[in-house]
Amino acid sequence: MERLDTVMVFCPTWRLEPETLWAIFALEFDCPREYVFTHDNLSVRDVDNINWNYRKGRQMFLAGDYTHLMTVESDITPPPDAWKKLRALDVDVALGSYRFREKHTGFSANNLMGHNGDGPGPVTGVGLGCMVARRAVLEQINFRAHEKLPCDTPFAEDVLAAGFEMWGDPGIACGHKDEDGEIVWPESEPAWFKKMRGFVPPEYDHQIRHYFRRGQTMRIKALTGFSGPGGSFAPQGEYDVPKESGREWVSSGLAVEIRPKKEANSG
């Protein structure tokens, strides 16, 4: 019997943009999923922080019973049907489409490198901003950083080197918020974006932002069939994952906090 989908929606965060928060809760699902927001940036180097948060997210994913990991980065605005379209591609790794931040990078380009044509098709990368990956991929491949590049490019290289199939779909057009507040789109701003506000239950909007200020991780577990406003949430209970070097996971209500381990008294 084919296993039913269970999704971990993962948002590693530097600065959580409100448009991203609205878009994540506006995503349309017909299966159980859990939303994981993490803000755990310990290094002065952005590359190290990005890589650490993705490795931590992979740990949480593999410790659970999920079939797919969906990543939505904290400055990306995916369309409501992003999960459904990415899942429908039925490949190991599926990527949505967005433009790199031209003001930040100094060049204008799309993330679906190596893509040919207008419809879905094979790509060489990159795209952790909006991605769906099967469990088998994460079981075999960890996230790693290049000296100057975040883990997007090495992850794409490792996926293809391992023989997994990676496709992108330019029809899954995501917004990408630049540092000056402008949201850039692969083409023009879509109509759905104007209708998106208000999808986040107020109590979770407050909780999420509270935990970000404290540098913690928050998990929200959605019941089967929830999509958009009017659904109900059930907070995740106790949770445990393998310990990282020098740190420990501590369950705290809706949050799973990661903090330095206390040294045992020597005397």
| 205 found inside a domain | yes
| 161 found inside a domain | yes
Instruction: Write the pLDDT tens digit of every residue in 49-105.
Output: 788 888 888 988 999 899 999 999 989 999 999 999 999 999 999 999 998 866 555
User: Cα(10)–Cα(36) distance, rounded to whole angstroms?
Assistant: 5
| Overall residue count recorded for the chain in this entry | 267
User: Cα(63)–Cα(66) distance, rounded to whole angstroms?
Assistant: 9
| 2 found inside a domain | no
Angle 142-262-55 from CA coordinates, rounded to 5°:
10
- Residue of 69, 43, 46, 39 lying closest to 141 (CA atoms): 69
**Model confidence band, residue 136 (pLDDT cutoffs 50, 70, 90):** very high
Give me the number of domains the chain comprises.
1
Domain of residue 238: give its range: 7-257
| 179 found inside a domain | yes
| 267 found inside a domain | no
Residue 203 has pLDDT above 60, yes or no: no
Task: Please provide the average confidence, as pLDDT, over all residues in the chain.
Answer: 74
User: Cα(4)–Cα(6) distance, rounded to whole angstroms?
Assistant: 7
CATH code where residue 85 lies: 3.90.550.40
